[in-house]
Amino acid sequence: MTNITVIGNATEQLLVKDALAMSSVDIDAKLKNPYRIEFHTAAEFMAAGLYVTGTKKPAWGYVVGKRTLWINGTRAARRPYSGQYVTIHELGHAIDSDWNTAAKHVELITLMPTVKPGTSWKGGTYLNRPREIYADAFAEAVGIGSPLDDDYGDIPDADLPRLLVITFKPIGVTPPVVDPSPPEPLPLPDPDVALLRAKVAVLESRVDAAMKALEGE
């Protein structure tokens, strides 16, 4: 890994590597800025006040700083797949930050049937917030089944490939303008006209010769 740094024991390091290997997209290569993943115990999560939204249960994972993710290592040890999902979900937010623009957000929201038109990317309730729906759907789009699929708002499975197309299309590249009506080809020369021109040239040369002969007399 070149853009992702993992702080944890050997098992935790392997959990992240396995999650990235399961992804159909090389997320580490796609990141445009560094990302840090740290494993911490459930007790450390609670001491820091990092809970599942609306509960007093320690969160599965939490972004504690710019591009720094804490993963609940206590839970991940019991349920590795939840740790892998959290890894890809949160990296989905980083991909969103690195690749998506306001215009892309508008396109992506059209894939979210549960989101009302005009909702901002960070607006709405937590579970139906476009940016959260995106991260959950991003995990699904790259091949990590979401254990929270029934909790978050959704992007239908049929539209998941479209999510990746929108996300990774180049930013600011304008396709060349192609003239839909190419110019008409010039007509081929009329062979009769060419023959007449040749005869005129011969006659003109004869006239010139005759004039010179008269001038020499």
For residue 173, what pLDDT is reported?
56
Per-residue pLDDT of the chain (217 residues; tens, 9 = 90+): 899 999 999 999 999 999 999 999 999 999 999 999 999 999 999 999 999 988 999 999 999 999 999 999 999 999 999 999 999 999 999 999 999 999 999 999 999 999 988 899 999 998 999 999 999 999 999 999 999 988 999 999 999 999 999 999 997 654 454 555 544 444 444 455 555 566 556 666 665 665 656 555 4
The pLDDT assigned to 184 comes to: 47
Buried/exposed code over 99-118 (b: 16+ C-beta within 10 A; e: otherwise):
bbeeebbebbbebbeebeee
8 A C-beta contact, residue 3 and residue 35: yes
For the record, the structure tokens of 70 come out as: 């804490």
Residue 144: other Cβ atoms inside 10 A: 22
Q: Which residues pair with 71 in a beta bridge?
A: 39, 61
What pLDDT does residue 54 have?
85
**pLDDT at site 118:** 87
86's CB contacts (< 8 A; 6+ apart) are 60, 61, 69, 71, 72, 76
Q: Check residue 108 and give its pLDDT.
A: 97
**Helix %, strand %, coil % of the chain (to 5):** 50, 10, 40
Count CB neighbours of 134 within 10 A. 28
Q: Given this model, what pLDDT does residue 171 score? A: 79
**pLDDT for res 186:** 44
For the chain, domain boundaries: 4-168
